[in-house]
Amino acid sequence: MEWPGSRVVCASLADQSGSSLAIALGANLPSPAGDPLATLLAVRPQLERRVQDLGGPGHWSPLFRTAPLGGPAGQPDYLNAVLLLRPARPAGHEAARDLLKRLQHLEQAFARQRHERWGPRSLDLDLLWWGDLVCDGAVLQLPHPCWQQRSFVVAPLAAIAADFRPPGAAVTTIELLNQLLAGASEPPPERLPGRPGWPE
């Protein structure tokens, strides 16, 4: 499987995995902005403002609709996306912790509640990696320990960077996605068409 347009970003990231940064977005409950789609549309410009000081170009994935993975039964489907950056600012533990705080503050602004692991949420923002930086703390772990097992993260990545091999990954994103889909019991992520505020 390959998503249209994915080669363009790969060209800009080729052989530069050490300088990339990725943030995953997800929502399946209403927030003060509205339904999950309205939430992600509202979050996008706010997140861009919060990372603009890192410098470098940013690439947004398309939106995907995905089935819940784990957690309580009966959850609604999620909307997911990924923001992939090539920051000019060097990676560091202090900078990564600062970025995590920014993401958590943004989650709180959209009424994120942390009652249950893998439970439904109005907004979830995960820092997946920042170059080759390794963190193994109680609050921040980099690379994110589970992202390579989550098709709702890998599918958006593959949509914009199919041939990119992220830090810590043994294969490219499209190869990883194909592996996940081959062994999956849940429906594959569904790519949504572009719309105002979120072009493809």
The domains of the chain, with CATH numbers, are 7-188 (3.30.70.560)
Whole-number pLDDT of residue 73:
76
Report the DSSP pairing between strands 124-130 and 135-136. unpaired
* Residue 106: predicted pLDDT: 97
Set 89, 97, 112, 191: catalytic member: 112
Active site (annotated) includes residue 112: yes
The Cα–Cα gap between 72 and 55 comes to 39
Q: In the annotation, is 89 catalytic?
A: no
Query: Rounded mean pLDDT of 85-113?
Result: 92
Percentage of residues of the chain with pLDDT beyond 70: 88
Q: Which residue has the higher pLDDT, 67 or 1?
A: 67
Q: Which of these is catalytic: 126, 132, 163, 191?
A: 126
